[in-house]
Amino acid sequence: MPAAPGGPRLLLRRLREAMAEPVSPQARLDRIVVVIAANVIAEVCSVYVLRDDNTLELFATEGLNREAVHLTRMRADEGLVGLIAQTAEPLSLSDAQTHPAFSYRPETGEEAYHAFLGVPLLRAGNTLGVLTVQNKTYRVYSDEEIEALQTTAMVLSEMIASGELQGLAPDAGTAARRAVNARGVVLADGIGLGHVVLHEPRIVVKTLIAENVEAEIARLEAAIEAVRSAIDDLVERGDKIGTGESREVLETVRMFAHDKGWLRRMREAVVSGLTAEAAVERVQSDNRARMMRQSDPYLRDRLHDLDDLANRLLRRLTGQEGAGAGAYLPDNAILVARSMGPAALLDYDPSRLRGVVLEEGGPTSHIAIVARALGIPAVGEVENATALCDSGDAIIVDGVSGEVQVRPGPEIEAAYAEMVRLRAKRQEQYRALRDVPAITRDGIRIGLHLNAGLLVDLGHLNETGAEGIGLFRTELQFMVAQRMPSAAEQQALYEAVFAATGDRPVTIRTLDIGGDKILPYMPKLEEENPALGWRAIRIGLDRPALLRVQLRALLRAAAGRPLKIMFPMVATVDEFVRAKAIVDREKAHLRRHGHPLPSDCRLGAMVEVPSLLFQIDEIAQVADFLSVGSNDLMQFLFAVDRENRRVADRFDPLCAAAIRAFRLIAERANAAGCPVTVCGEIGGRPLEAMALIGMGFRDLSMSPASIGPIKAMVLSLDARAIADVIDAEMARAHDGASIRPALAAFAKAHGIPV
C-alpha cells in the first residue's frame, strides 16, 4: 500500500502544525500519532518512551486501546519494541506475530494487526524511545515510509529531550532526563558539584523542517564542498589544527568526507523534508547509535572522526565556524569535552570552575597536570561524555573514585555535599600542619616539595608549607603559547618564578617535548614509538640552539641566586656530560659579556630511562643531584604504555621489581653523597611515599593537594620500622609479588594515615 500523497514532506508540514498548537504535551502527542497514522495509511501508530527505570512505556497511540496508555510497560529488551530499542535499528515485518521476539499484551488489543514497522527515537546516538505503525494486512512497508518514520522520529526525539514529556510519567521520568552514573579515570583529585558547560557547545538545530527542499539540497552540497576543501588544504599543508589532530586523523576525516553512502543518506534525509542541518544531525545520530554498539575498538574510535566531520558541516551550515565556548563561565561550572589542551583550560576563569570531564585524556596527560595545578577535580576517559548531558544539567565530578554523576538524584547530591564538607574539614586539619616540620617519629626529616609548571602553581607554596619546587616543568609555557617563546619571554617567566619562590629552592627541568608533548607551532615528527623516540634531552642535544636559548634565559634570570637545572630523559652518562658542557659554554658567554651569574649552579639528571640504573654509580659521580621520574621509569621498566587502559594497571609500583629499582637508586645515590628526589606521581600517594621513605629517599616532590596527606603520614611514621618491613618482605618476595598488602597492614596496625 503506498504512502499518502506528499509523503514525508507533507507529514513534516502537518507535524509542524501539530507541534505549534497551544495544547498540553499529552494532547500534542495524541495529535501527532493521528497525523502519522493518516500519512502512512496505518491503522495503528504508537509512541513508546524509555523511562529512567529502563522500561518502555506506551505514551500515545492511535488504533490500539487508549486505556493502555501509561499502563502498558515492558522491559527495554522485551518484545519487538525492546528489540528496536536495543539495536537502534528500524524493523519492518509483514507478520509481526510470527517473529520470535513478539510479546503479546492483551490490554492493547493489537492481536488483530500483522504488518509492523518500528524505528528508534534517537538523539546523539542515545535511544529515547520507539515509534511504531501497524496494519491488519500482511503488507511490506516501502523505503519511503521507513524514511518518513525515521524523519518523524527525529522530531519526536527533540520533543522528549526537551523535557516536555517528563511530567507525563506518573511515578518516574523519561530516560532522556534520567540520572546517569558514568565511570572514568581520575585526572585530578577532588569533588566538584555544579552544572554542565560544554567546552564545544553542541550545535543546536533550531529549524528541523524544510521550507524549500531544493534550496536545502543546495546548502548541503555547498557545505560539503567547503568542508572537503578545508580538509584537503589542511592535509596538503600538513598542518596540525587546534584540537591536536595529526595528518593521519585528517586523512581519515577526508576519507569520510568523500564517502558516497554517508553523503547519500544526508541527501535522502533532506529530500524527505528536513533542513540540511537537521539531515546532518539525523544521519550522525544514526551513525552514533550503530557505532556505540560495536565491540570492535577500531570502529568505535572512528566515531570521533565522524563526529568531527558532522560538527564541521553543522558549523558551516549554521554559521558558527570557529565558535567555541569562549572564556566566560557561569558560577559552579563543570566543563565537559571530548578533549582539551592545557591552553584551552587556562582560558577559563578558574574561580568559577568546579570540575572537568573528558572523553579522552589520561592521568599523565597535560590537561591532567594543569587541572591538578589549578586544584580542579577532573575525570578522563568517560565514554560518550558529551552525549550524556546537556548544557545546564546538574553534574558531580568525583576526582577520588573516577565517577561522574549526571542529573543526580537528591540522595546522591546530599551524599556528595556531605563528602565535600568532610574533605573541607580534613583540609583544615592539613592546613594546621602547614608550619610543622615533616619529621618522622624517629627523627628523620623528609623534604616535601611541589611539582609545578605554571605561575599559578606557585601560590601553593605558602598555602601548603612546601619547602620549595622539586620540579618546574618548563614545557608548559611552550605548550600554551601560540608561537615559540622568545629568550626574553622565557627569562621573564623564570624571573617571575624566582620572585614568587623567594629563598626557597627551585629545580628547573629543561624542555621536555616530543613523544606525546607536541608543540602546536612545530611540525609533528611521525615516529613508530614516539615515547621512545626523539624527545627531551635528545632534541636539546641535536638542536643545541633551542637548549642554549633556554639555558641562557635561566642563567640570566637567576643572576645572584642559586640555580638548579635538571635534564630529562637522560639515557647515558655521556648525554649528561654533553648537556653540562653546553651550560658551561653559556656561563662563559655571559661572563665574557659582563652578565652576572647565579651564585651557585647545580646540574642534575632525571632517572627515568632504565639504562641509567646500570650507570647509577657513574651518573651519581658527575651529577650534582638526581631526580627520579617514576612515571616514565615505571613505563619503560615494565614496557607498559601508561596511557593504554588495557595494560596500564598490569604492574604495581610496589611490586618486587619496582622496589628493587627504587632501592638501587636510593642506596647508590646516598652512598655517593648525591642528593636524590622522587618527583613522579608515586611520591604524592601516602602508601607509596611511605615505602619510598623506607627505601631511603628523603625528598619527595608532588602536587599541592598531596602535601597535607603526605605530611600527616610522615608525622606518624617510624622510618626505620618501615625499612625493616620492606627488608623482610623483599627477602621472601620470590614470586615478584607486590608488597602493598604488607605495607597497608603495617600502616593500619600503627595508625598511619594512608
Catalytic annotation, residues: 366, 679
What is the distance between the alpha carbons of residues 693 and 752, in angstroms, rounded to a whole number? 14
**In Å, how far are 211, 508, 580, 605 from 553, measured between CA atoms?**
63, 12, 16, 19
What is the distance between the alpha carbons of residues 296 and 333, in angstroms, rounded to a whole number? 35
C-alpha cell of residue 45: 501508530
Q: How many alpha carbons lie under 13 Å from residue 709 in its C-beta half-sphere? A: 18
What pairs with residue 244 in β-bridges? Answer: none
> CA end-to-end span of the chain, whole Å?
72
C-alpha cell of residue 146: 521507513
Signed CA dihedral, 206, 209, 211, 213: sign only:
positive
Strands 180-183 and 403-406: antiparallel
Nearest to 119 by CA among 156, 83, 89, 95: 89
Nearest to 509 by CA among 562, 549, 555, 568: 568
For residue 611, count other CB atoms closer than 10 A to its CB.
Answer: 11
Collect all residues with Cβ–Cβ distance below 8 Å to 593 and sequence separation of at least 6. none
How many helices (DSSP H) and strands (DSSP E) are in the chain?
A: 26, 22
C-alpha cell of residue 654: 610496589
SS3 content of the chain, % helix, strand, coil (to 5): 50, 15, 35
3-state secondary structure of 51: strand
**In Å, how far are 32, 292, 594 from 591, measured between CA atoms?**
84, 63, 5
Listed as own residue / partner, the contacts of 520-528 with beta carbons closer than 8 Å and 24 or more positions apart are 520/240, 520/242, 520/244, 520/341, 520/343, 520/479, 520/482, 521/481, 521/482, 521/483, 521/484, 522/484, 523/238, 523/240, 524/240, 524/246, 524/247, 526/246, 526/247
User: Quick check: 656 and 737 in contact, CB under 8 A?
Assistant: yes
Nearest to 675 by CA among 634, 625, 748: 625
